[in-house]
Structure 1
Amino acid sequence: MTKSQYTSLLTRCTRIIRLALWLRKTIRRVKRFNSLNATERNNELVSIAQNLLHILHVKVKPEQAMPDTASMPWLTVANHVTWLDIFVLMAYIPGGFIAKQSIKSWPVLGKLVTNGGTVYINRQSRQDINPVINAIEQALHEGKNVLFFPEAYTSEGLTTLPFKAALFQAAIDADRPVMPVAIRYYDMQGQRTPKVAFVGKTTLLRSLWNIVSLPEIMVKVDFAALLNADDNKITDRFKLKTQAEDFIRARVLSDSPITSINASADNISSQ
Structure 2
Amino acid sequence: MTPLLISIQWVLGKLGLPGWGFIASNYYKVLRGLLRIRVRVVGTPVHGRAVLYVSNHVSWSDIVVIGSLAPVAFVAKREVASWPLVGITAKIQRTVFVDRTRRHQTGDAVSQIVERLKGGTSVVLFAEGTSSDGNRVLPFRSALLGSVEDAAAAHQGGADAILIQPIAITYTGQQGMPMRRSQRPLVAWYGDLDFMPHIKRFVGEGVVDAVVSYGPPVPADGTLDRKAMTRKLHEDVRRLMVSALRGRPIPANQPQPVAPSVTVDLVAQEKISA
Q: TM-score, structure 1 length as denominator?
A: 0.79
Q: Specify which of 74, 87, 100 is matched with residue 123 of structure 1.
A: 100
Q: Specify which of 206, 222, 230 is matched with residue 215 of structure 1.
A: 206
1:163-219 CA-to-partner distances (Å, cap 9, x unmatched) read 012233324432310111100012221225231111111111022022112221000
**SS of residue matched to 2:178:** coil
Q: Given the superposition, is the C-alpha separation of residues 239 and 47 from structure 1 closer, same or farther in structure 2, using an over 3 Å criterion?
A: same
* Residue 248 (str. 1) matches residue 227 (str. 2): no
CA-CA distance at 1:127 after TM superposition: 1.9
Give 1:44-63 correspondences, 5 Å limit.
Answer: 44-63=23-42
In structure 2, distance between residues paired with 1:161 and 1:38: 40
In structure 1, distance between residues paired with 2:52 and 2:244: 27
CA-CA distance at 1:255 after TM superposition: 5.6
Q: Specify which of 169, 174, 177 is matched with residue 183 of structure 1.
A: 169
Q: Specify which of 45, 51, 54 is matched with residue 66 of structure 1.
A: 45
In structure 2, distance between residues paired with 1:167 and 1:143: 20
Q: Which residue of 2 aligns with 1:173?
A: 151
One-letter amino acid of the counterpart of residue 173, structure 1:
A
CA-CA distance at 1:235 after TM superposition: 4.5
Q: Which residue of 2 aligns with 1:98?
A: 75
In structure 2, distance between residues paired with 1:228 and 1:75: 10
Give 1:228-267 correspondences, 5 Å limit.
Answer: 228=219, 234-254=223-243, 256=245, 259-260=263-264
**SS of residue matched to 2:185:** coil
Q: RMSD of the alignment, in Å?
A: 2.2
In structure 2, the gaps of 5 or more residues are: 153-160, 247-261, 269-274
Q: Is the 8 A contact 2:131 2:190 kept in 1?
A: yes
**SS of residue matched to 1:32:** helix
Q: Given the superposition, is the C-alpha separation of residues 262 and 49 from structure 1 closer, same or farther in structure 2, using an over 3 Å criterion?
A: closer
One-letter amino acid of the counterpart of residue 143, structure 1:
G
In structure 2, distance between residues paired with 1:143 and 1:210: 37
In structure 1, distance between residues paired with 2:218 and 2:33: 31
One-letter amino acid of the counterpart of residue 4, structure 2:
R
Greater strand percent: which structure?
Answer: 2
In structure 2, distance between residues paired with 1:255 and 1:140: 29
In structure 2, distance between residues paired with 1:242 and 1:260: 22
CA-CA distance at 1:86 after TM superposition: 0.8
Q: Percent identity between the aligned chains?
A: 24
Alignment size in residue pairs: 236
Q: Which residue of 2 aligns with 1:8?
A: none
Q: Is the 8 A contact 2:73 2:123 kept in 1?
A: yes
**SS of residue matched to 2:238:** helix
Q: Which residue of 2 aligns with 1:10?
A: none
Structure 1 range deviating more: 106-115 or 57-66: 106-115
Give 1:125-164 correspondences, 5 Å limit.
Answer: 125-164=102-141
Q: Specify which of 7, 14, 20 is matched with residue 41 of structure 1.
A: 20
In structure 1, distance between residues paired with 2:54 and 2:86: 20
1:117-173 CA-to-partner distances (Å, cap 9, x unmatched) read 111111222222222112211222222211110100110110011101223332443
Q: Given the superposition, is the C-alpha separation of residues 248 and 117 from structure 1 closer, same or farther in structure 2, using an over 3 Å criterion?
A: same
1:18-57 CA-to-partner distances (Å, cap 9, x unmatched) read xxxxxxx121111121332575100111011000010011
